[in-house]
Structure 1
Amino acid sequence: MNPFTTLRRHLTPAQINFYFSILCFFSPPVLGSLVSVTFNAGGVWSVILLATKRRRFNIDRPMLALTVAIYAYCAAMVLASIVNGTLAADLRLFLPLITFLLFPISYSTWSITEKITLARIAILASTAACFGALALAIFQNYRLGVRAEGGAGNPIVFATVTCLAVMLCLAGALSGIEKRWKLLVLAAMAGALAVVYSASRMIWVAVPIAGIVVLLVNRRRFTNANVARFAVIGVVVALVIAAIGSHVIVDRTDFLVSDWDALNAKGDHSTALGLRVAMWEMGATAFREKPIFGHGISASRALIKQGFQDQFGLSQSFSHFHNGFLTALVEAGLLGGLALASIFVIAVRNAAKTLRVSADPVERFGATMVLVAVITYLTGGMAGILIGHDILDATLMVFLISGTYLASGRTIAPTGESAPAMAPDASPRP
């Protein structure tokens, strides 16, 4: 018997969404690519449900605007390959775009879950993820002697998704949605320490920025004195975390200073910083060569490898230019770069609109999800990878879908009527 059929006979659609949501929010830091498998499998299953009319599209204006931007980015990538005559060769490279194309489909299925239920799932699953991330980070750092990479297999990816989990815990504690605020604060501290052990400097920058935004979003719930007290507590907590992970911070700072000195004094591009600067220079040159449509999705690796050999005498190979927007500009020109930027601009606009007009804590929590995702991805993507990694792509979709739905979407029944979707006994207990 088909396992999906068996599952459907034993679980209601709302219950399936319940466990699906737990996996999507828990797995990125701890189980890595399981979030990609889960999200994409759920999206494909949603296509089947829509095709058989067991689900209906839930089209909200904010979701529709994001869908247009996401599809425009995908179209720009395909158009670049067509213009460069590499469409057939690039077909396999388009497979990751499926994650983005599933956005409106997964949104329609996810929105059968009651908003308060989904918000609590996101908070509690992220709480567990933060504790799991710290356990993995401690083991990898002290027992294996490597940068913490959790279940993601990559320190930068691990730091990015853990930062998001930290912010959900913090937002949950400040919003009042989940009453066990002490547990959430402890989880946020655990996740923040895991980020320190990842030694990912750009995400170290993202954590305080996103944290301040979370505090500002929820400032209406507290007096000015309380906000100031929270700020002081945050600084103290940050100092404690920095003290615990001081050996990592000192080492990474020394590396950065050393790399900077080598680059400026000797023109040494073989260091981590030097390699990034070299790729930014090569990317800028490649963009000027084909500014409108770009070189195509498969061009980055070849351009980088050839550029290192010709310009710097180095044998290096990377799949992207360590700047998300520069990579998009090289691969798909201005069309791709502007389309990618529009995704984040529209997401922020949707969130800001909700924060201006709504006092509902769940809606404001959803808007906060979107904002922290944008801040974290843009900060990390300036010197690393923005999209194009299976875990990052799936996690971005999870946050944009659930955040947009919570902030401004409507709940529908599986057949499409506006109605609560989850039975009371399926809701997580506060």
Structure 2
Amino acid sequence: MLSDQLTKAIMLPTKGHFIGIDRNNRLFTFVFALFPGLLASGTSVTLVCAFMWALVSLAARRFAFKMNRTDKIVAFCLTFYVLVTILSVLLHPNPAKGGAFILKMIPFLAIWAVLPRLRVSLPGRLLPFLIIGAGVGMMGSLLFSIVQTTVLSARAEGGAGNAAVFGLFAVLFGSISLLNAHSESKIERFIAIAGFACGLVCAFLSATRSAWLVMPVHFVILYWYLRGQTLPTVTNAAKVVGTVLIVGIVAVGAIKVTERFHALENDIVQLDHQPDDISSLNARLMLWSAARQALLASPFIGHGPQNRMTLVNEILDLPPEKQMTFTHVHNGFLNAAVDAGLLGVLAVLALLAAPVVAARRKEPGPGRDLATAISLLLVSSYVITGMFGIMFGHDATDAVFIYLTIMICWISGTSPYLSIPEVAARAEADKQALIA
């Protein structure tokens, strides 16, 4: 049974100094992958706890501080974003109100301590837990979403508390799940395909149009990765199940796409005939226009995140009852521009480049291909959805981006792909390697 093999793969036999660290790394990676769709806030809490414990362990010299040149480049990209944000808070009025924004920067520094801790783990051992955790998490998220859309609301939010964030995580982790499609384990392949299908359905149920735009890009990335793998022979039973899944996804997608298309159509009509009424579309256009004006007023250093929405509302000059209550301008790049000007946009670009740099600077091999696929899935998800909604600044979206970036850094370019059964079979050998 896969559950027994999963337990054996995570819970290495006997005790030992590095065995304990490696075991916790495996468990942490698996649990983290479960959280985005089921309990999104759990990602940030888990990451911060891991960061704090890693700092304590580093101070106690429980493991060595090991970061290669690429690791440091990526870490500096994340740190640059932190420094720019802190600078933008301190250089502008109301710096005391910017304390919350500075606190949000703490997880971005986790790479300096968490990555050396992950280096204790043997090559290739953590990725299987990330990928299968993503699949299982998406299957659970679909059940959560069905209950929500049946009983509570028209749009599924999963455990994210926000339909847009849930849509982002659904399409991202559903796609990560499919990276197991070439596993030697039938159960793993089933979870990979089921997790991918559930992720797509969750994204449709979230009614997040920007997440739907991510799907064709992910199809291309997944095709690129999987075409280079040895895929199992598709049986007649698999063809039947696949056909049912495709029909189900298309049916759910057609219903939700039709609903959201009509909503967009109504917004466009309203924009022409009732321009004073603030619809979803009109609100975005107004926010983007105000953000552009704010950028032109201070193009190099912005206005500080603590003054963002106050300034936007001042520019819009709306009546009190119509003022925007959003926390961001629904575009990650414009958000950064209002906060810290062109320097802020440069910091976001550095942040988005970090996972791709981490993947492509590795030595050629199966590990680099897998790292590249994950990095492209991650960055495309954030860029596309971030053009119409939140990108960074949300605790869960920040935590997911940070930990996946750390994982991409951790992957060895030459390490082979391993399934859970293979990791379980190597448990005794891994124990000996960690003790040595």
TM-score range, shorter chain: 0.7 to 0.9
The match for 1:404 is 409
Percentage of pairs with the same residue: 25
Quick one: structure 1 residues 426 and 41, their matched pair in 2 at CA, closer, same or farther if it must change by over 3 Å?
farther
In structure 1, C-alpha distance between the alignment counterparts of 2:54 and 2:429, rounded to whole Å: 21
Amino acid at match of 1:291: P
| Structure 1 residues 341-376: Cα deviation after superposition (integer angstroms, max 9, x where no partner) | 02212432443444xx6232x332222111101010
1:44-63 matched pairs, under 5 angstroms:
44-63=52-71
In structure 2, C-alpha distance between the alignment counterparts of 1:398 and 1:269, rounded to whole Å: 41
The match for 1:135 is 143
Stretch of structure 1 that moved more, 233-242 or 290-299: 233-242
1:8-47 matched pairs, under 5 angstroms:
12-47=20-55
Query: Contact 2:123/2:412 (CA < 8 Å) preserved in 1?
Result: no
Quick one: structure 1 residues 325 and 425, their matched pair in 2 at CA, closer, same or farther if it must change by over 3 Å?
farther
* Residue 97 of structure 1, CA deviation: 0.4
Query: Contact 2:74/2:357 (CA < 8 Å) preserved in 1?
Result: no
The match for 1:383 is 388
C-alpha root-mean-square deviation of aligned residues, in Å?
3.0
Of 358, 361, 370 in structure 1, the residue corresponding to residue 364 of structure 2 is 358
In structure 1, C-alpha distance between the alignment counterparts of 2:307 and 2:300, rounded to whole Å: 15
The match for 1:424 is 427
Of 71, 80, 85 in structure 1, the residue corresponding to residue 79 of structure 2 is 71
Quick one: structure 1 residues 118 and 178, their matched pair in 2 at CA, closer, same or farther if it must change by over 3 Å?
farther
Amino acid at match of 1:359: G
* Residue 425 of structure 1, CA deviation: 4.9
Amino acid at match of 2:364: S
Report whether the alignment pairs 1:369 with 2:377: no
Stretch of structure 1 that moved more, 327-336 or 76-85: 76-85
Quick one: structure 1 residues 239 and 322, their matched pair in 2 at CA, closer, same or farther if it must change by over 3 Å?
farther
Query: Contact 2:371/2:408 (CA < 8 Å) preserved in 1?
Result: yes
1:189-208 matched pairs, under 5 angstroms:
189-208=197-216
Report whether the alignment pairs 1:298 with 2:306: yes
Quick one: structure 1 residues 94 and 349, their matched pair in 2 at CA, closer, same or farther if it must change by over 3 Å?
same
Of 97, 101, 126 in structure 2, the residue corresponding to residue 118 of structure 1 is 126
Amino acid at match of 2:75: T
Amino acid at match of 2:373: T
| Structure 1 residues 46-87: Cα deviation after superposition (integer angstroms, max 9, x where no partner) | 011111111222212222111111111111111122322443
Of 242, 250, 256 in structure 2, the residue corresponding to residue 242 of structure 1 is 250
* Residue 154 of structure 1, CA deviation: 0.6
Q: Give unmatched runs, 5+ long, in structure 1.
A: 1-6, 227-232, 411-419
| SS of aligned partner of 1:291 | coil
| Structure 1 residues 285-334: Cα deviation after superposition (integer angstroms, max 9, x where no partner) | 00111111110120112123333434998222111110001101110111
| Structure 1 residues 185-220: Cα deviation after superposition (integer angstroms, max 9, x where no partner) | 122111211111010010011122112112113322
Quick one: structure 1 residues 261 and 222, their matched pair in 2 at CA, closer, same or farther if it must change by over 3 Å?
farther
* Residue 242 of structure 1, CA deviation: 2.5
| Structure 1 residues 119-175: Cα deviation after superposition (integer angstroms, max 9, x where no partner) | 11011111110111100111101122331001111111111112221111111214x
Quick one: structure 1 residues 115 and 368, their matched pair in 2 at CA, closer, same or farther if it must change by over 3 Å?
farther
Quick one: structure 1 residues 70 and 184, their matched pair in 2 at CA, closer, same or farther if it must change by over 3 Å?
same
Query: Contact 2:291/2:329 (CA < 8 Å) preserved in 1?
Result: yes
| Structure 1 residues 381-423: Cα deviation after superposition (integer angstroms, max 9, x where no partner) | 000000111111111111111122115599xxxxxxxxx9x97
In structure 2, C-alpha distance between the alignment counterparts of 1:235 and 1:339, rounded to whole Å: 44
In structure 2, C-alpha distance between the alignment counterparts of 1:278 and 1:293, rounded to whole Å: 22
In structure 1, C-alpha distance between the alignment counterparts of 2:259 and 2:127, rounded to whole Å: 38
In structure 1, C-alpha distance between the alignment counterparts of 2:411 and 2:227, rounded to whole Å: 19
Report whether the alignment pairs 1:104 with 2:112: yes
Query: Contact 2:168/2:385 (CA < 8 Å) preserved in 1?
Result: yes
What is the number of residues matched between the two proteins? 401
| SS of aligned partner of 2:389 | coil
Amino acid at match of 1:77: T
Query: Contact 2:175/2:199 (CA < 8 Å) preserved in 1?
Result: no
The match for 1:394 is 399
In structure 1, C-alpha distance between the alignment counterparts of 2:78 and 2:319, rounded to whole Å: 35
In structure 1, C-alpha distance between the alignment counterparts of 2:210 and 2:412, rounded to whole Å: 28
Of 348, 351, 359 in structure 2, the residue corresponding to residue 343 of structure 1 is 351
Of 89, 96, 113 in structure 2, the residue corresponding to residue 81 of structure 1 is 89
Give the TM-score normalised by structure 1: 0.85
| SS of aligned partner of 2:305 | coil
Query: Contact 2:18/2:120 (CA < 8 Å) preserved in 1?
Result: no
Query: Contact 2:43/2:400 (CA < 8 Å) preserved in 1?
Result: yes
Query: Contact 2:134/2:173 (CA < 8 Å) preserved in 1?
Result: yes
Q: Give unmatched runs, 5+ long, in structure 2.
A: 1-14, 235-240, 416-422, 431-436
| SS of aligned partner of 2:138 | helix
1:278-357 matched pairs, under 5 angstroms:
278-310=286-318, 314-354=322-362
Of 268, 271, 281 in structure 2, the residue corresponding to residue 263 of structure 1 is 271
In structure 2, C-alpha distance between the alignment counterparts of 1:377 and 1:115, rounded to whole Å: 28
Give the TM-score normalised by structure 2: 0.84
Amino acid at match of 1:386: M
| SS of aligned partner of 1:115 | coil
Amino acid at match of 2:305: I
In structure 1, C-alpha distance between the alignment counterparts of 2:90 and 2:372, rounded to whole Å: 37
